[in-house]
Amino acid sequence: MIEENVKNLIREIPATNPFGEKVTLVAAVKFQSTENINRAIAAGITDIGDNHVQEFRDKYSEIQGNPKRHFIGRLQTNKVKYLVGKTDLYHSVDRLKLAEEISKRSESLSRVLLEVNVSGEESKGGFGLDEAEKAYLEISKLPNIKVVGLMTMLPDTDDESLLRALATKTRAFLDKIREKDPDFATLSMGMSGDWRICVECGSNMIRLGTAIFGARNYNK
Ligand SMILES: *Cc1c(COP(=O)(O)O)cnc(C)c1O
């Protein structure tokens, strides 16, 4: 099933979004066994994203095929040390302190995305769009950090027009900063339920768990 899901997704995800950009598929691997993750990689997954530092560490050396490693979860400052040097992209930099810690621990440039909270839901982390530009400027000054774009999680809703409005707003914000900084080009937006809408609205990186692995078993 995993193999079939990956193959179908690779076929279905458009090669480029309406902005002419390649769409990168990141497999969200939380709670998955290394066996399942390796099956997904063998079927064509090139990028994997963890949410939990402990899982990232436990599985790190068992993962085959040398995929790109993303960290997509909420990150405690005191755990950054376990990820530096092993993470290709940090998606969820949601506060200055975290960026400072990544910069301090990194021996070479670490690539990060700023997490933005576009819906204003209190349960979600991230900078409000009104504070994100200031955060971008501050974090960009840190010596070992390269801010390469935005990550967001849209609300869990079937309201397509709301999702489109929020996704379009996020893309517009990316483009605003990108005018001055061409490297600010990654928009990580879209999960199993909303990725099609997100790609249509200008996402170029989607994080899929359920669509690849099926429903998660949280009891394991
Ligand atoms: C779990 C998770 C995903 C994937 O969610 P699905 O709905 O299973 O595709 C994407 N992004 C983040 C940050 C996640 O925690």
- The CA distances from residue 9 to 21, 67, 219, in Å, are 17, 17, 27
**What ligand 1 atom has the least distance to the C-alpha of 193?**
7
Quickly tell me which residue has 């997954």 as its tokens. Answer: 45
User: At 122, is the pLDDT very low, low, confident or very high (cuts 50, 70, 90)?
Assistant: confident
User: pLDDT by residue (tens digit) across 25-47?
Assistant: 999 999 999 999 999 999 999 99
Please work out whether the CB of residue 197 comes within 6 Å of at least one atom of ligand 1. Answer: no
Please work out whether the CB of residue 207 comes within 6 Å of at least one atom of ligand 1. Answer: yes
Three-state secondary structure call for residue 20:
coil
Q: pLDDT value at position 148?
A: 98
pTM: 0.96
Helix (H) or strand (E) holding 130: helix 129-140
User: pLDDT by residue (tens digit) across 95-106?
Assistant: 999 999 999 999
Mean pLDDT (whole number) for 141-147:
98
User: At 150, is the pLDDT very low, low, confident or very high (cuts 50, 70, 90)?
Assistant: very high
Report which of 142, 140, 154 is spatially closest to residue 195, judged by C-alpha positions: 154
% of residues, the chain, pLDDT over 90? 95
pLDDT at 125 over 60: yes
Distance (Å) from CA 171 to ligand 1 centroid: 19
Please work out whether the CB of residue 113 comes within 6 Å of at least one atom of ligand 1. Answer: no
Q: Indicate the angle between helix axes 160-178 and 129-140, nearest 10 degrees.
A: 30
pLDDT at 10 over 90: yes
Pocket test for ligand 1, best of 9, 72, 154, 196 (most atoms within 8 A of CB): 72
pLDDT at 219 over 70: no
User: pLDDT by residue (tens digit) across 151-197?
Assistant: 999 999 999 999 999 999 999 999 999 999 999 999 999 999 999 99
The mean of the pLDDT values for the chain is 96
- From CA 91, how far away is CA 73, in angstroms rounded? 8
User: At 147, is the pLDDT very low, low, confident or very high (cuts 50, 70, 90)?
Assistant: very high
Cα 207 vs. chain centroid, distance in angstroms?
Answer: 6
* Backbone φ, ψ for residue 2 (5° rounding): -60, -45
- From CA 106, how far away is CA 100, in angstroms rounded? 10
Q: Whose CA is nearest to atom 7 of ligand 1?
A: 192
Q: pLDDT value at position 26?
A: 98
Beta bridge partners of 134: none
